[in-house]
Structures are given as C-alpha cells and as structure tokens.
C-alpha cells in the first residue's frame, strides 16, 4: 500500500488538515501554469524593452526595468521555487525515483537563479552608467536570463507536471493543491501572494504599450543611453 503523504512537514499538517476540511481543493497545476505565465510575461517585457533600445534608441524607464528585475528575482525565490521544491518535487521523488536526476537539475537551477539575477542586475547597472558601450553586454545578459528561465519552465511543464499527474496519489494532490493555494505555511500565504500580484500590476501599469498600460515611450536625445 502506498504511504499517505508522509513527505509533508509535521509543522504544516495541522494547518493543512483544517484547510482541507473547509476549503474546496485548488488545482496546483493550474496555479503553477498561471505563475509561469506571469513570469513569462515579465520576461517578454524585458526582451521588448531591450529591443526598443536596440531598434529605436529608447532608454528603459528605471522604475519599470527595476520592478521587472525585482519581480523575476523575488517572486520565484520566495514563493514559486520553495513550493515546487517542497510540495511538488519532493513527493514526486518518493513516488517516482527515476525522476531524481531531472528534479536535481531543476532544483539546482532554482538555487542558481539568484546568481543569474545578480549578473543581470550588474549588467543593467553598468549599462545605465556606461551607456552605449555597455549595451551589448546588457542585452546578452537579458537574453541569457530569459532563455535560461524559459527553458526551466518548459521542462517543468512538459516533463515534471506530466510525471506528477501520472505518479502522485489523490492524497498527495490534496496536499499539493492546498500548499500551492497558500494555505499550508505562512511563508506561502495570501499576503505574500497579494504583494506580488500588486507588483505585477504595477509593472503592467508602468510599462509602455504594447506590453503595459503606461505612457508610450518617446525616443530620447543623444545624452540618454542608447544603442548606436
Ligand atoms: Fe522551477
Ligand atoms: Fe516553476
């Protein structure tokens, strides 16, 4: 007989069982895909802003680009990755040990993400201070980060989620769904989730069309950092 969700941390079980008694299950897979879509939208926005610099000489708004970097740094690190590691990868390792190497690689990428963000931040800081001569390195750093993160999400959606659907038990899913809905640990609670949703909406409000609702950017003069 299969064990019953023994992978769930003891400290979380009481809160979780109360939640399971009173709330309808929330679909973790849907939440993961939605969180990926939010991240993908911000990554797309970063590429768009870089293209605006390259093709039209439009310098990015510091507020917009800074908020984008903060979002792709803080949201996965504080909410998305810990939930995946603890509540999706962990039970999948137990139910399907053959997934170990894949999950090891994806977990290592979670930990490497912070370092990659620092590289991106540094490239952006050098570009804002150094202008044109730093643009290529900055654009390459954005491309590297976007490609890395898109590939990471692709593997989760095309490899991990199908394995989870196949091997996790209904009991496992009850726990995973509750955890992703933010009812298991305060760390993953609704307050944090709401803060990141607000940040996402702020990016949308600030970013120029067509990626956001902010005022259309106007090409700036030669003193502004731009790609020649
Ligand atoms: Fe991940
Ligand atoms: Fe993910």
- pLDDT tens profile 162-179: 999 999 999 999 989 888
Instruction: Give the ligand at the shortest distance from the Cα of 85.
Output: 1
What is the predicted pLDDT for the residue at 109? 95
What is the predicted pLDDT for the residue at 113? 85
In angstroms, the CA 57 to CA 155 distance is 35
Whole-number Å distance, alpha carbon 87 to ligand 2 midpoint, is 12
In angstroms, the CA 177 to CA 154 distance is 21
102-133 pLDDT, tens digit per residue, is 999 999 999 998 889 999 999 999 999 998 89
In angstroms, the CA 119 to CA 123 distance is 6
Whole-number Å distance, alpha carbon 80 to ligand 2 midpoint, is 6
36-81 pLDDT, tens digit per residue, is 988 888 898 889 889 888 888 877 778 888 888 988 888 888 888 9
Kindly tell me the sign of the dihedral angle through the C-alpha atoms of 146, 210, 195, 83. negative
Query: What are the residues whose beta carbon lies below 5 Å from ligand 1 (ion)?
Result: 84
- pLDDT band at 99, cuts 50/70/90? very high
In angstroms, the CA 73 to CA 67 distance is 10
Task: Name the residue ranges covered by the structural domains of the chain.
Answer: 27-206
Span 183-206, average pLDDT = 63
What is the predicted pLDDT for the residue at 213? 60
Q: Which long-range contacts (CB under 8 A, 24 or more apart) does 45-52 make?
A: 45/203, 45/207, 45/211, 45/212, 46/72, 46/142, 46/145, 46/146, 47/142, 47/143, 47/146, 48/211, 49/207, 49/211, 50/138, 50/139, 50/142, 50/143, 52/208, 52/217
Instruction: Give the ligand at the shortest distance from the Cα of 180.
Output: 2
- pLDDT band at 85, cuts 50/70/90? very high
In angstroms, the CA 8 to CA 96 distance is 16
Are 186 and 16 contacting, i.e. CB atoms less than 8 angstroms apart? no
- Quick one: fold of 27-206? 1.20.120
Whole-number Å distance, alpha carbon 59 to ligand 1 midpoint, is 31
Helix, strand, coil percentages (3-state) for the chain, rounded to 5, are 80, 0, 20
């Amino acid at each position: 007989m299969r064990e019953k969700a023994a992978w769930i941390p003891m400290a979380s079980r009481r809160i979780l069982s109360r939640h399971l008694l009173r709330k309808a299950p929330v679909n973790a897979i849907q939440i993961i895909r939605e969180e990926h879509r939010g991240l993908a939208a911000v990554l797309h926005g970063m590429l768009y802003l870089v293209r605006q610099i390259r093709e039209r000489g439009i310098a990015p708004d510091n507020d917009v680009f800074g908020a984008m970097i903060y979002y792709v740094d803080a949201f996965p690190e504080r909410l998305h990755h810990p939930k995946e590691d603890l509540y999706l990868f962990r039970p999948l390792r137990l139910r399907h040990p053959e997934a170990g190497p894949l999950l090891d690689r994806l977990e290592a990428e979670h930990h490497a993400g912070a370092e990659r963000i620092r590289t991106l931040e540094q490239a952006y800081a050098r570009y804002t201070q150094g202008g044109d001569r730093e643009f290529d390195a900055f654009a390459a750093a954005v491309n590297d980060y976007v490609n890395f993160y898109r590939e990471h999400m692709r593997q989760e959606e095309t490899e991990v989620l199908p394995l989870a659907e196949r091997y996790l038990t209904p009991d496992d899913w009850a726990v995973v769904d509750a955890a992703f809905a933010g009812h298991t640990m305060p760390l993953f609670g609704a307050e944090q989730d709401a803060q990141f949703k607000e940040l996402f909406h702020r990016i949308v409000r600030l970013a120029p069309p067509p990626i956001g609702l902010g005022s259309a950017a106007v090409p700036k003069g030669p003193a502004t950092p731009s790609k020649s």
